[in-house]
Amino acid sequence: MLDSAQHTTNNDLNRYTVGFLRETAERGERPLSRGEITINEKLCKGCGYCVRFCPQSCIAIPGDRFSPQGYLLAVFAEPDKCNACGICGWMCPEFAIDVYRYVEAETPGA
Amino acid sequence: MTEKKELVYTKPKLKLGYGWGHCPGCHHPIVEKLVCEVLEEMDLAGRAVGVAGVGCSFGFFASINIDGANCAHGAAPAVATGIKHALYGKPLVFTIQGDGDCAAIGGGYVLNAAARGEKITIIMVNNANYGTTGGQLAPTTIMGQVTSTTPHGRNASQGYPIHLPELLVGMQGVAFTARAAPFTPAGYRRAKSYLRTAFQRQLDEAGLTFVELLSACPPNWHMTPLEAIQWMEDRMLPEYPEGIFKDSGGEQ
Amino acid sequence: MPERILVQGNEAIGWGAINAGCRHFFGYPITPQNEITEFFARELPEIGGVFVQSESEAASAAMLYGAAAAGVRAITSTSGAGWGLMQEGMSQLANAELPCVIVNMQRGGPGQGTTRHAQMDYLSTTRGGGQGGYKTIVLAPSSVEECHNLVQLAFHLADKYRNPVVVLGDGILGQMAEPLERSTIEFDPLPEKDWTIRGMGERDAETHNFISCGQGGVIPVPPYTSYGAFLQRLEEKYRTMSADEVRYETYRIEDARLLLVAYGSTARVCQEAVDMARAEGISAGLFRPISLWPFPTDVIREKAASGTEFLVVEDSLGQMVDDVRYAVEGKSQVHFLGILARHLPTDGGMILPNRVLEEIKKVT
């Protein structure tokens, strides 16, 4: 078995870090270590993968919120802890999660 | 200074609509996601043609925006061969098949496509049972695993699990085989890396490339999604380890 | 000046395909059509075509499916158990509406059968031997020249209707040698195939094409968002084919009180028997269906209504005779001479003209 590390070339998830840093710098923006997610309530099937794999434990399934189809919804319970890593987005099988990262921009006219 | 939000992750552009109705916790849509992201990043969407086998992969190409087809059970590697040769090797051709489609009824097709060294990529989604039909014994069912046709758990009289990436290593026409388990973030990244390499070896015309991806199947395993991925870590990974088993490195 | 060559029927099939612009063959060895497979292996690489020897006939059908989906003219050929193996593939091709040509050079059956001629696949070919009930046009050559010409027609009809077409020969036709003038037959122009899967970049398209063998049912996406819509399309297609694609040939039928009905190599035997009968003053003629599906039902029905009797001669236990009986609608007599009338009980036995003449005399 070969070492998988030799083959992790061009890990494009870096665009959310390295690429993102470059793009935002070009626009004169400074990325912050804060993020936000939206969970599409029509799509969530309550599988719990986002809850399980969020490194910051931002997401929870409270057990009292249901989707229109009757699934137990995951909710963005601890927004202050989110650092926009994007792992919840990768792990969601329903394409239900969008991930945002906060950036600081020059106020126009300032 | 003002603060604003930038979208850093959303569903891939190649994905049409949303899920077509897989069970909660199934990793087939994750495979769709992986394939879409890799094709977008390698700028291969216009060059790709896919073939989906029979099973939970059947609707794969109905729901992503690349030319695709589905076909008879097990026959995807042969259909892929037909497409690749019809177009004199131009397109990037790959299959998405389940473990039953690929290793049972499709065994002969896989073996012979590999023997002929067809420049196609076979992606096998392994959930250790026949999911679509309600959870019967599959070639990749683990010893002791209860399925609807092994109600007392698989035992030696019902044979042993089949490990295709390892099996194909000895074949000269095979350029790359690997297995990943995209049920964790690290496994997701590994899967993406292996898919990239598999497609690249096809473009390099190095030979047949094969990637096995493990998936949960919560309803047929009679588990919740979170229990299912725990079972994958405890029982599937020891039987089906992740890694690259053969890489010809782009040479023929 | 067109070239005249002396070739076997099997090779004529190959020349027909090449003259129709076919450059892709996927096939598997089986007697008595190996000359077809070997022809393509030899000739296609010379002209930039592709020959792939598949691992089974089921794989041949699947490769054909892929090549047809990618928009090229593709062909396979087989016989006997290989034809049996292809049935699921035929059904999938019929659902996915993929144009391609399948050649079956019949041999004795059922099972492993014999390696020599017979006409025992009529039913499975005309009724759709695979699951679900579908129709494919079936063309039956009875000479080396027709092998060459009907293959070209088959490609045209396959593309015209987006349906597989079967060319049904037999072991005798495949092995016998006659002169052939190779030529490309001109057909009416057909619309471009905008439904193929070749990569969106290759098609200069922004949206994908999706080809499914579960149209309307397992995958209810456009163009057939319901099973009923899909079945309606099939019904329309088969109705049009039935109306427009009947083909047959007649020989000395003008005043015939007895019509022999035969196809393929048996028709050649019957032609001679008709001549022998006429020489003895018996007014017999030969009606030779060229399209076994759609079967020339209307012509036979008309003839039956005017009192003509029929003698169906086929190298089987009785398959096409059912279609003749159905067409006759009980209005006239249908006699049958089948494989048990061969001159020898071994697999090389044949229904010979003398034996047919004997039967003609018996029934007139």
Residue B252 has pLDDT above 80, yes or no: no
Please tell me chain C's helix, strand, coil percentages from 3-state DSSP, rounded to the nearest 5: 40, 20, 40
pLDDT band at A14 (very low <50, low <70, confident <90, very high): very low
Nearest CA in chain B to A5: B190
- Can you tell me the mean pLDDT for B178-201? 97
Minimal C-alpha gap between C239 and chain B (Å): 26
- DSSP assignment of chain A, as one string? -B-GGGG--S-GGGGGTHHHHHHHHHTTEEEEEEEEEEE-TTT-----HHHHH-TT--EE--SS-B-TTSPBPPEE--GGG-----HHHHH-TTS-EEEEEEEEEPPTT-
Side-chain-side CA neighbours of residue C42 (13 Å): 9
- Give residue A20's pLDDT: 73
Pairwise pLDDT comparison (C38 vs A108), residue with the higher score: C38
Distance CA C237, CA C222 (A): 18
Give dist(CA A105, CA B16) in Å, integer: 33
Alpha-carbon gap, residue B199 to B181, rounded angstroms: 18
Alpha carbons B125 and B102: distance in angstroms, whole number:
9
Give B58's contacts (C-beta < 8 A, 6+ positions apart): B52, B70, B132, C214, C218, C219
Interhelix angle for C87-96 vs C57-69, to 10°?
10
CB contact under 8 A, B58 and C214: yes
Supply the ipTM of this predicted assembly. Answer: 0.94
* Most distant CA atoms of chain B, gap in Å: 71
Taking residue B64's Cβ as centre, other Cβ atoms within 10 Å add up to 24
**Cα dihedral angle (C16, C19, C25, C30), rounded to 10 degrees?**
20
- pLDDT above 90 (res A9): no
CA C199 vs CA B46, B77, B91, C196, C208: distances in Å = 5, 17, 6, 9, 8
pLDDT attached to residue A8 = 29
Chain C residues 265-324 within an 8 A CB cutoff of chain B:
none
pLDDT tens, residue by residue, C150-207: 999 999 999 999 999 999 999 999 999 999 999 999 999 999 999 999 999 999 999 9
CA distances from C231 to B134, C99, C134, C165, C235 (A): 28, 18, 10, 19, 6
Judge: B75–C58 Cβ closer than 8 Å, yes or no: yes
Which helix (H) or strand (E) segment holds residue C237: the answer is helix C227-244
Distance (Å) of CA C207 to CA B120, C82, C157, C202: 23, 38, 28, 12
pLDDT at B98: 97
Q: Please write the tens of the pLDDT for every residue from A42-56.
A: 999 999 999 999 999
Nearest Cα neighbor of C8 from C29, C36, C28, C31 is C36
In whole angstroms, give the CA distance from residue B31 to residue B19.
Answer: 12
**What is the pLDDT confidence band of residue B20, given thresholds at 50, 70 and 90?**
low
Q: What percent of chain B lies above the pLDDT cut of 90?
A: 90
| Strands across the sheet containing B92-98 | B243-247, B174-180, B208-214, B121-126, B92-98, B48-52, B67-70, C210-211
List, in order, residues 6 or more apart from C79 with CB less than 8 Å away: C30, C31, C32, C33, C104, C105, C106, C107, C171
Is the Cβ–Cβ distance between B181 and B251 less than 8 Å? no
Residues of A in contact with B192 (CB under 8 A): 11-13
Please report, for chain A, the start and end positions of each structural domain, with discontinuous segments joined by +: 32-102
Tell me the residue type at A79: P
Q: The domain at A32-102 falls in which architecture?
A: 2-Layer Sandwich (3.30)
- Tell me if chain B has a CB within 8 Å of the CB of C62: yes
CA distance C54 to A30: 59
Q: Give CA–CA dist C262/C265, Å, rounded.
A: 9
C296: which 2 tokens? Answer: 């020339």
Closest CA to C269 of C188, C364, C176: C176
**pLDDT 10s per residue in chain C (364 long)?**
568 999 999 999 999 999 999 999 999 999 999 999 999 999 999 999 999 999 999 999 999 999 999 999 999 999 999 999 999 999 999 999 999 999 999 999 999 999 999 999 999 999 999 999 999 999 999 999 999 999 999 999 999 999 999 999 999 999 999 999 999 999 999 999 999 999 999 999 999 999 999 998 888 888 898 999 999 999 999 999 999 999 999 999 999 999 999 999 999 999 999 999 999 999 999 999 999 999 999 999 999 999 999 999 999 999 999 999 999 999 999 999 999 999 999 999 999 999 999 999 999 9
Nearest chain B CA: its distance from A77 CA (Å): 19
Report whether pLDDT(A98) > 70.
Answer: yes
**Would you say B190 and B113 are in contact if contact means Cβ atoms under 8 Å apart?**
no
Closest by CA position to C296, among listed C158, C137, C166, C102: C137
Q: State the burial class of residue C279 (Cβ atoms within 10 Å of its Cβ: 0-12, 13-18, 19+).
A: exposed
pLDDT at C115: 95
pLDDT bin (cut points 50, 70, 90) of residue A19 is: low
Q: Which two tokens stand for residue C51?
A: 């020959």
The band of A7, judged by pLDDT with boundaries at 50, 70 and 90, is very low
Residues of C with Cβ-Cβ distance to B69 under 8 angstroms: 65-66, 69, 96, 197, 210-213
Cα gap B46→B91, rounded to integer Å: 9
Instruction: Using CB atoms within 10 Å of the CB of residue A62, give its burial: 0 to 12 exposed, 13 to 18 middle, 19+ buried.
Output: exposed
Pairing of strands C334-337, C177-181: unpaired
The answer to whether the Cβ–Cβ distance between B241 and A95 falls below 8 Å is no
pLDDT of B19 higher than 80: no
Q: Categorize the per-residue pLDDT at A26 as very low, low, confident or very high, splitting at 50, 70 and 90.
A: confident
Q: How far apart are CA C220 and CA B75, in angstroms?
A: 21
CA distance linking residue A44 with residue C257, whole number of Å: 77
Mean pLDDT of B92-115: 97
Counting Cα atoms < 13 Å in the Cβ hemisphere of C208 gives 24
The pLDDT of residue C222: 83
* Structure tokens given for C191: 């619309």
What residues does C347 pair with on adjacent strands? none
Q: Do A103 and B243 lie within an 8 Å CB cutoff?
A: no
Angle between helices C57-69 and B76-86 in degrees, nearest 10: 50
Q: Do A93 and B25 touch (CB under 8 A)?
A: yes
| Residue C107, CA distances (Å) to B85, B217, C316, C318 in order | 30, 47, 10, 15
Who among B59, B67, B76 is closest to C208 (CB)?
B67
Among B218, B193, B192, residue whose Cα is nearest residue A90: B192
% of chain A beyond a pLDDT of 70: 80
Percentage of chain C with pLDDT > 90? 96
pLDDT at A5 exceeding the cut of 60: no
- Per-residue pLDDT for A6 more than 50? no
pLDDT of residue A21: 74
Enumerate residues 6+ apart whose C-beta is below 8 A from B238.
Answer: none
d(CA B220, CA B103): 19
Q: Which of A7, A48, A52 minimises the CB distance to B193?
A: A7
CA–CA separation, C84 and B173 (whole Å): 30
C residues 190-229 lying closer than 8 A (beta carbon) to B: 197-203, 207-214, 218-219, 221
pLDDT computed for residue C50 by the predictor: 98
In contact, C80 and C109? CB cutoff 8 Å:
yes
Q: Do B10 and A93 touch (CB under 8 A)?
A: no
Instruction: Please state the rounded mean pLDDT for residues B135-162.
Output: 96
Which DSSP string corresponds to C153-209? HHHHHHHHHTSEEEEEEEHHHHH-EEEEE--PPP--------S--S-TTTTT-SS--
Residue B79 has pLDDT above 50, yes or no: yes
Task: Give strand ranges (E) for chain B.
Answer: 2-9, 48-52, 67-70, 92-98, 121-126, 174-180, 208-214, 243-247
